[in-house]
Structure 1
Amino acid sequence: MTTTPAEVRPLRAFVRLGRPKFLFQSMLVVAVGVTIAVHSGFPADLRWYLVTLLFAWCTHLMTHYCNEYFDLEADRANAAPTSWTGGSRVLVSGHLAPVVSLSAAFVLLFAGVLLLAVLPGTPTRLMGAVIIALAWLYTAPPLRLNYHGLGEISCAAVLYGLGPLLACFAQAGTVSTAGLSCIAVLFGFQFLRMAIMNLSDIEGDRAVGKKTLAVLLGATGLVRLFAVGQVAGYAAIALLLVLGVVPAVVGVLMLATAPVPLWVTRQLTSGALREPRRANAVTFWVSMHMPLTAAAITLGLLADLAAAGRLWQPWTAVCAATFLVFGGWLARAVRDNRATAPVPTG
């Protein structure tokens, strides 16, 4: 039975509008950055961790509310959304007025600017300013980056590029070669992930003239880009491991995530996005590939610290809590969402 706008509680609709389930990504992004700093010998300052996490969540939510407003026409044209693409559907269904989303985005924008002023050091504040600018302009005028083939790279830069760098610099004021290499891998994988997310929305985007990379390359070209990109990414991880740029346990754990994109690639090449249940599974697992890889890096760095006898410190407890929260949510998401079956096995 469908519900009318009047039957949906405004507060519940407002929360759905912000799509808070994606905040697990930024939570793990911050954990990666802080762990890189700790692995480099800098003690974790939990105050800066909390400030960075609040900034990450604030800008992440701001992006969602902003996108819901400026992507409304494209979301309305999307006849086959999944649970992970096509927006929250709150505005499309008429449960809230579009101005509510825009207003929330502006409030979060101002909150992000205030947190930006609190961040330590000029480099960190500059990174934060770029994050806010790119996040807002992802769909908002005048640039509307995701409407001109630049959305995938800007999203990768904001979340898995500058995100962990900001968290690391807030703690250490610098980043190690190993840490920078891990961040570069995350950036590449996030670019590929966003390409697939936009591929799922291709028909609606094409109808309103939204030129994502999927629209520009076409489905066949984009799937080929994803497959080649994943091979290049894991080859790079193997090379970093062989050259000793990253600790061995970090490289091995990162390589262990390969079955997820392999399964996604197989699904894409067999036309999964044309079937709602399989499309939902694909967009779910291509999204989960990112926090799983971030968790692999964090766990690997912590294991390397343990081997050096430097594991037992307050930051370890924070990481343990982070993994418990994410693990509990992931288990529930896999169980409750029927479309996630089958689970990727390679």
Structure 2
Amino acid sequence: MATVAQWIEGARPRTLPNAIAPVLAGIGAAAALDSFDWVMATLAMLVSLGLIIGVNYANDYSDGVRGTDDDRVGPLRLVGSGAAKPPEVLAAAISALLFAAFAGLAVVLLSKHWWLLAVGAVCIAGAWFYTGGKRPYGYAGFGELAVFVFFGPVAVLGTVYVQADTVSWTAVGCSVAVGAFSSAVLLANNLRDIPTDTEAGKRTLAVKLGDRGTRRLYLTLLASPFLITLIIGWWFPPVLFAVLAVLLAIGPARTVLSGATGRDLIPVLRDTGLAMLLWSAVAAAALAFG
């Protein structure tokens, strides 16, 4: 039986910035429109956290029963390591996704935007079919694109819209920046796993691009939010303070440039996520109070 610490590790805490950052950016963009609503903002955060924990457990379950996680370099996987039985991890995944669904239903009921039910259904389907089902899209190289969409535009603009009933060009810029950060986090994970994923037949984007191409794409994604910051800052100068996040991005960029492999790439996930979190927090504060 898995310990509490193992269940927490199985939820992959290093990925939580991917859920928190887009909602923070959306809150800031909504506040810039004088439309901050703490109830909607809190519900949006709960939806985002439920989805990412759900997809992490679902990924653990699906990869575990396929045998993809039998020989991993990265952090603990509950099923692959034998710490928990597949039905237990599946139950955890379903519970987290149901939590996200109920929080999302509350958003729909309060906002009266019934079409958001369809968006929520697509998000939950995206969480499951990332590595679940007969043809998981994560095994076909579309994982980074899905992360960009769901934890970029969908999460940021969704957070703004349920508060303000509209979106702004600033919010769109923030959504692209956060999406690029999120994709960079997943790409760093898949860069580390190229050898084992290749052996398991998992054709991630990193496997398709190869080591050198993956490193180039990672650096491009990591640089993109700072370029977007300069563009947004041209019209709204306070947002330029978000460039401070580059201080946290230098470390992972150097590690990737150095050609590091295996366990040496694990800190890149954490540091990229922290850079994204700092960028979103500073940008949100600038939009809200600038």
The TM-score bracket by the shorter chain reads 0.7 to 0.9
Aligned partner letter, 2:280: A
| Alpha-carbon distance, 1:211 to partner | 0.8
Is 1:146 the counterpart of 2:138 in the alignment? yes
Is 1:61 the counterpart of 2:49 in the alignment? no
Measure, in 2, the Cα distance between the counterparts of 1:53 and 1:238: 27
Aligned to 1:289: 275
How many residues get paired?
Answer: 284
Aligned partner letter, 1:22: T
Give the fraction of aligned pairs with identical amino acids, expressed as a percent. Answer: 24
Structure 2 CA distance for partners of 1:171 and 1:226, relative to 1, 3 Å? same
| Alpha-carbon distance, 1:233 to partner | 4.2
Aligned to 1:71: 63
Aligned to 2:78: 90
Structure 2 CA distance for partners of 1:229 and 1:115, relative to 1, 3 Å? closer
Aligned partner letter, 1:76: D
| Alpha-carbon distance, 1:237 to partner | 2.8
Q: What are the Cα deviations for residues 246-288 of structure 1, in whole angstroms up to 9, with x where unaligned?
A: x2111x22222224334322222222225x3x32322321222
Measure, in 1, the Cα distance between the counterparts of 2:266 and 2:5: 23
Aligned to 1:114: 102
TM-score for both structures, normalised by structure 2: 0.88
| Alpha-carbon distance, 1:154 to partner | 0.4
Is 1:175 the counterpart of 2:167 in the alignment? yes
Aligned to 1:52: 44
Measure, in 2, the Cα distance between the counterparts of 1:27 and 1:104: 20
Aligned to 1:189: 181
After TM superposition, list the pairs within 5 Å mapping 1:259-274 onto structure 2.
259-274=247-262
TM-score for both structures, normalised by structure 1: 0.75
Answer yes or no: is the 8 Å Cα contact 1:273–1:282 preserved in 2: no
Answer yes or no: is the 8 Å Cα contact 2:43–2:103 preserved in 1: yes
Unaligned runs of 5+ in 2: none
Is 1:249 the counterpart of 2:238 in the alignment? yes
Q: Which has the higher helix share?
A: 2
Measure, in 1, the Cα distance between the counterparts of 2:50 and 2:218: 30
Aligned to 2:127: 135
Measure, in 2, the Cα distance between the counterparts of 1:176 and 1:104: 37
Aligned to 1:32: 25
Aligned to 1:17: 10
Measure, in 2, the Cα distance between the counterparts of 1:136 and 1:301: 34
Measure, in 1, the Cα distance between the counterparts of 2:224 and 2:42: 35
Structure 2 CA distance for partners of 1:16 and 1:259, relative to 1, 3 Å? closer
Aligned partner letter, 1:268: V
Structure 2 CA distance for partners of 1:126 and 1:165, relative to 1, 3 Å? farther
Answer yes or no: is the 8 Å Cα contact 2:152–2:177 preserved in 1: no
Measure, in 2, the Cα distance between the counterparts of 1:187 and 1:25: 9
Q: What are the Cα deviations for residues 162-200 of structure 1, in whole angstroms up to 9, with x where unaligned?
A: 112221111111111111111112112322332122101
Structure 2 CA distance for partners of 1:15 and 1:262, relative to 1, 3 Å? closer
- SS in structure 1 at match of 2:68: helix
| Alpha-carbon distance, 1:205 to partner | 0.9
Measure, in 1, the Cα distance between the counterparts of 2:141 and 2:266: 24
| Greater length-normalized contact order (CA 8 Å, ≥ 6 residues apart) | 2
Structure 2 CA distance for partners of 1:24 and 1:263, relative to 1, 3 Å? closer
Unaligned runs of 5+ in 1: 305-346
Answer yes or no: is the 8 Å Cα contact 1:254–1:297 preserved in 2: yes
Aligned partner letter, 2:241: L
Answer yes or no: is the 8 Å Cα contact 1:261–1:286 preserved in 2: yes
Pick the aligned partner of 1:203 from 195, 198, 223: 195
